[in-house]
Structure 1
Amino acid sequence: MALHQELRYGDAFDPFSVEYNRRKGHFSMSEDHMHKHYELYYLFGGERFYFIKDRVYRVRSGDLVFIPGNEVHKTSDTGVPNHERIVIYVNDSYFEPLQQDETELLLAPFHGPHRVVHLADQDKLRIEQLLYEMLREIQDEAPGYRMAVRHAAGQALLFAARQSAAYKQGVPEVSVSPAAARMNDIASYISEHYRESLTLSGLSELFYLSPSHLSRSFKKYTGFGLIEYIGITRIKEAQRLLRETDERIIRVSEDVGFENFSHFEKVFKSVTRMSARSYRAGFRRRE
């Protein structure tokens, strides 16, 4: 029996969860992504732009993508229709029963130099057989299927970790166009200068692009609006300061580049779905 076009297993509170989609036509993520889970992404077919932190990657069939927790990321359309992908989300609680060296092995790819690992044909066959078997277990829900899914997810993470460890340092990544590379430069600049005053007109002048062209191209290659990305970058740093310091919230907003506190509160809530005060209080309760 053919797989459904969409399958899900688990939720955000489970040690791991799985999300599978087979999409026809053109598609870009409508929501921003920044969460505490580790994310292992595999593209069965098609082609995507994958923006992670401050860089655009062109992801093709047979690519594994590693996204650390609390890293801004988003996929968008490259102009090539139809794609099929699976994502395994992993919580810190997944690693609690493991030995330290096992945890370090599985987490190494998320902190390593390669966000994207392209698999050789024989390795594609191996991982796809494993993943499709896991998806059939999720779809059929035969007796004991949860045990089978847990086992398969562990095998997939181990396979991905070994592939990442064996990946040659000198292997060239799939190159992006000069236009996409320019957007990488702009995103990197924002990541380094988010405390400063950043505007569309100022950035367009700095990078010798018209405001309309910069705005349109940044959205095309990263999936984010320029002002939206500046806000998310600032809020990510604000979250760190709220977790790790006792600075007053209004001072935190100034430290990360907001000139207006009410604007900071509005952007913080739009990104995190809660107020800065609630975020800090919730984090302190978990300590």
Structure 2
Amino acid sequence: MERTPDKNKQIQSLAPGSGITPDYHDLVSNFELSYKATPSTEQLTSLIHYHECFELILYVSADIEAYIDDTHYNLHTHDVLIVPPRKLHKIVYPQPQNYIRYVFYFTGEHIEKAFDSHKASKALNLFMDQTYQKASLSVREFLRINYIMRNMYEHISEDQKQDMHLLNTYSSLILQELYIIFVSRPPADTTNKILSPVEQILKYINDHYSENITLEELEEKFYLNKSYICRIFRKTMGISLINYIQHKRILEAQQMLLTTDASIINISLECGFSNLQHFYRVFKKMTDLTPNEYKKNQSRTKLGQPILLQSFKEQQT
């Protein structure tokens, strides 16, 4: 359920010089729904970003592109897209258009509430699976899920004394419908897909972020000039290649801090940092916290508190 954030109350910068702009969303009962309509006369821009929760987008009217981790998607009217937690992603708007969509944020805990224990595990795995992140809906499928979202959003917008039981029912129905839609389809076959240079580089970073990645190495690997690699990556992703690699490594380090008992020095090495001081410096710059502070703060975060939806753009130098 969405309560539009007061822009005057939003934190304007997470860390001096970090290039990260946080955006707080009020998550109540582990879900949030918004409706967004952008006319063709409005200039659309998108920063590469990630969320701490799942993001589901139902495209009522759209002709756009998206990068999720190392995968590129063409998205059109009546498509649905799932972005799992902590996946770097960016929307690309190739032309002016009337862009209309519902955006539904939910957590793993909400999946557990929407399904019985056996199916909840299957649903969680399905929603995390890269081969099931996009579906083009039939008219019937679109009308069904659009009906649920529209009614839920109207209830949120019009009723100040909101019936949480009803909203929970709506949100569970959304996830159940989504599960039915995705299990009825085969996984996407990407074996013969021709990847663009940027997709190839993104995939290489995902597979090798724990290693020392150099421009010379990429130049030799992809038979592309170093300057061209830097230029095309920045043009497509809106961020420099080096900055992207650092963010990818810090995201993986955050995940290890929260899910393992590995020492900080081992985490830094596993995430591609050969120097512990450099790891601390980059981590602090991007999160405004030391690794120890991050682990302590995150472990104290309780359900129902605002979840930080972070977006970032490269610091201008």
TM-score range, shorter chain: 0.7 to 0.9
Show the counterpart of 2:149.
131
Show the counterpart of 2:293.
278
Show the counterpart of 1:115.
133
Distance 1:45 1:161 in 2: 22
Distance 1:123 1:267 in 2: 45
**Match 1:100 to one of 117, 122, 126:** 117
Give the letter aligned to residue 109 of structure 1.
L
- Could you tell me whether the CA contact under 8 Å between 2:69 and 2:87 is conserved in 1? yes
Show the counterpart of 1:228.
243
Aligned in 2, Cα 1:204/1:160: closer, same or farther, shift over 3 Å? same
SS for the counterpart of 1:50 is strand
1:134-213 → structure 2 map (5 Å cutoff): 134-141=152-159, 143-169=161-187, 181-213=196-228
Show the counterpart of 1:18.
33
- Could you tell me whether the CA contact under 8 Å between 2:135 and 2:182 is conserved in 1? yes
Show the counterpart of 2:79.
63
SS for the counterpart of 1:89 is strand
SS for the counterpart of 2:50 is coil
- Could you tell me whether the CA contact under 8 Å between 2:64 and 2:91 is conserved in 1? yes
Distance 1:127 1:254 in 2: 45
Point out which structure has higher relative CO (alpha carbons under 8 A, 6+ apart).
2
Shift of 1:240: 3.2
Show the counterpart of 1:52.
68
SS for the counterpart of 2:58 is strand
Shift of 1:72: 2.4
Give the letter aligned to residue 129 of structure 1.
Y
Distance 1:23 1:219 in 2: 25
SS for the counterpart of 2:247 is helix
TM-score by length of 2: 0.74
Aligned in 2, Cα 1:261/1:109: closer, same or farther, shift over 3 Å? same
SS for the counterpart of 2:104 is strand
Aligned pair count reads: 277
- Could you tell me whether the CA contact under 8 Å between 2:265 and 2:276 is conserved in 1? yes
Distance 1:93 1:69 in 2: 13
Question: How much is the aligned-residue C-alpha RMSD, in angstroms?
Answer: 3.1
- Could you tell me whether the CA contact under 8 Å between 2:155 and 2:162 is conserved in 1? no
SS for the counterpart of 1:168 is coil
Show the counterpart of 1:33.
50
- Could you tell me whether the CA contact under 8 Å between 1:269 and 1:275 is conserved in 2? yes
SS for the counterpart of 2:49 is coil
- Could you tell me whether the CA contact under 8 Å between 1:17 and 1:89 is conserved in 2? yes
Show the counterpart of 1:3.
none
Any gaps of 5 or more consecutive residues in structure 1? 1-5
Distance 1:278 1:127 in 2: 41
Distance 2:126 2:277 in 1: 39
Distance 1:18 1:75 in 2: 19
Show the counterpart of 2:308.
none
- Could you tell me whether the CA contact under 8 Å between 1:27 and 1:77 is conserved in 2? yes
Show the counterpart of 2:103.
87
Aligned in 2, Cα 1:150/1:77: closer, same or farther, shift over 3 Å? same
SS for the counterpart of 1:133 is helix
- Counting aligned pairs with the same residue, the percent is 26
Shift of 1:286: 7.0
